[in-house]
Amino acid sequence: MQKRIDLRSDTVTTPTAAMRRAMAEAEVGDDVYGEDPTVNHLEALAAEIVGKEAALFVTSGTQGNQVAVATQVQRGEEVIAEAQSHIFFYEAAAVAAIAGAQIRQVPGIRGVLQRKDVKDAIRPQDVHQPRTALITIENTHNRAGGTFTPLVVLQELSLVAREAGIPIHMDGARLFNAAVASGHSAKEITSYVDTVQFCLSKGLSAPVGSILAGPKEFIQHARQWRKRLGGGLRQAGVLAAPGILALTTMVERLVEDHENAHLLADNLATLPNIVVNMETVQTNIVLAEIQGTGMSAEIFVQALREQGVWASVFGPASVRFVTHKDVTRQDVLDAAHGVANVLKGAY
Ligand SMILES: *Cc1c(COP(=O)(O)O)cnc(C)c1O
């Protein structure tokens, strides 16, 4: 059977052998009673790593983001989010459906929000207008191709937010990719935001879960929203145990994913009719624009799959490749070869 090189997402990573052992051996209790020692350990460790008072283990990145929104935003208020952000694009309109608020889409530059645009989007006090209740920053930015927000920009955004008295939530699903690529610690990055969500289940390879972190009082309220949304788990230590290993053993290896993404991008860029914007190749995501091939992304991805290479349709003529723990340097070279074969087949 042909080998499958799965570059659809870093969510396809499987837990390591050490993670599976830790799951089997995890000490557990009822986490809704606050009695699961492994969950408590993970939450304390996570809070320390991002420099926040407290943290909460949540079932997914989406749940973490939406608990953060619901905890800080009232019905009829507005949330500023980058125009192509995950919170706007991929969370089933949860800001409207759960918090009862609307999103103000602010276009960034390669996914990075600009100080002036955010400042201009903050609503004045006016009976006609909703109150701006929260600013969200996506770091790294998925639809922009895994770009990170530079520290100077975070600093500017935090000043704008503080002047207006509005909290900032970071959708840091891939926070550690941003940290590794920018050379700044996760704690430095999150020092500019009030609350942060990050995924244990993507590049860090845990099977399930995300962390939401922030001030102690915020996390207390967030705990109730998590319960309301069905996220109060019982002996969740079996899920928290691999999360601990994700944070303690899987962060530094993200460098390899970034190297492999650059290698893939370089190889794809040499192929005819494939355009890769190298400026956006900063972490573990490569976006290929395939207009020139005359194929739709659907057809292209299907043809590529026949070569054993799995990628995601990201737009009518846009294809996404994501590198991760379960693909090697050789896999990435083979994937580029698979793309070359698809292009040959198109003539
Ligand atoms: C994956 C992702 C999420 C959501 O994570 P899930 O665990 O899939 O719900 C949120 N934001 C961004 C930027 C993501 O890439």
60 CA from centroid of ligand 1 (Å): 7
**What is the distance, to the nearest Å, from the Cα of residue 168 to the centroid of all Cα atoms in its chain?**
16
Distances (CA, A) of 330 to 40, 189, 250, 309, 335: 40, 33, 21, 13, 8
49 CA from centroid of ligand 1 (Å): 20
Mean of the pLDDT values across residues 1-16? 94
DSSP 60-84: -HHHHHHHHHHHH--TT-EEEEETT
pLDDT at 347 over 80: no
pLDDT at 216 over 80: yes
pLDDT at 277 over 80: yes
The mean of the pLDDT values for the chain is: 97
**Probe ligand 1: pick from 67, 86, 175, 197, max atoms within 8 Å of CB?**
86
Residue 33: the pLDDT is 97
pLDDT at 191 over 60: yes
Q: Is 263 helix (H, G, I), strand (E, B) or coil?
A: helix
- Ligand 1 atom with the smallest distance to the CA of 171 is 11
d(C-alpha 44, C-alpha 86), whole Å: 27
d(C-alpha 343, C-alpha 123), whole Å: 49
Question: pLDDT exceeding 90 applies to what percent of the chain?
Answer: 98
327 CA from centroid of ligand 1 (Å): 20
Residue 336: the pLDDT is 98
- Ligand 1 atom with the smallest distance to the CA of 201 is 7
What are phi and psi for residue 299, nearest 5 degrees? -65, -40
218 touches 72 (CB < 8 A): yes
- Ligand 1 atom with the smallest distance to the CA of 59 is 7
323 CA from centroid of ligand 1 (Å): 16
Give the closest residue (by CA) to ligand 1 atom 2. 173
Q: The domain at 5-12+253-346 falls in which architecture?
A: Alpha-Beta Complex (3.90)
Band (46; pLDDT cuts 50, 70, 90): very high
Residue closest to 205 by CA, chosen among 75, 323, 72, 334? 323
The string of pLDDT tens digits covering residues 102-151 is: 999 999 999 999 999 999 999 999 999 999 999 999 999 999 999 999 99
Residue closest to 172 by CA, chosen among 232, 223, 214? 214
259 CA from centroid of ligand 1 (Å): 22
**Probe ligand 1: pick from 90, 149, 212, max atoms within 8 Å of CB?**
90
Cα–Cα–Cα angle for 177, 267, 145, rounded to 5 degrees = 35
Residues with CB under 6 A from ligand 1: 60-62, 65, 86, 138, 142, 171, 173, 199, 201, 210
**Probe ligand 1: pick from 87, 171, 226, max atoms within 8 Å of CB?**
171
Kind and range of the H or E run holding 285: strand 285-289
Q: Token pair for residue 246?
A: 């994700």
**Probe ligand 1: pick from 103, 142, 205, max atoms within 8 Å of CB?**
142
10 CA from centroid of ligand 1 (Å): 11
Q: Where are the domains of the chain?
A: 5-12+253-346, 17-249
d(C-alpha 326, C-alpha 251), whole Å: 15
Residue 2: the pLDDT is 77
- Classify residue 26 as exposed, middle or buried by CB count within 10 Å of its CB (0-12, 13-18, 19+): buried
62 CA from centroid of ligand 1 (Å): 6
- Report the interhelical angle of 254-269 vs 329-345 (nearest 10°): 30
Mean of the pLDDT values across residues 229-256? 98
d(C-alpha 84, C-alpha 96), whole Å: 16
193 touches 168 (CB < 8 A): yes
**What is the distance, to the nearest Å, from the Cα of residue 116 to the centroid of all Cα atoms in its chain?**
25
Give the closest residue (by CA) to ligand 1 atom 4. 61
Greatest Cα-to-Cα distance within the chain, rounded to the nearest angstrom: 65
77 CA from centroid of ligand 1 (Å): 23
pLDDT at 346 over 80: no
Residue 68: the pLDDT is 98
Give the torsion through C-alpha atoms of 105, 12, 179, 81, to 10 deg: 10
Stated pTM of the model: 0.97
173 CA from centroid of ligand 1 (Å): 5
Residue 345: the pLDDT is 81
d(C-alpha 297, C-alpha 314), whole Å: 8
Q: Is 56 helix (H, G, I), strand (E, B) or coil?
A: strand
pLDDT at 1 over 90: no
The string of pLDDT tens digits covering residues 139-182 is: 999 999 999 999 999 999 999 999 999 999 999 999 999 999 99
Distances (CA, A) of 280 to 140, 161, 260: 11, 26, 15
d(C-alpha 26, C-alpha 236), whole Å: 9
Query: What is the CATH code for 17-249?
Result: 3.40.640.10
328 CA from centroid of ligand 1 (Å): 23
Give the torsion through C-alpha atoms of 184, 186, 188, 191, to 10 deg: 150
What are phi and psi for residue 286, nearest 5 degrees? -125, 125
Band (3; pLDDT cuts 50, 70, 90): confident
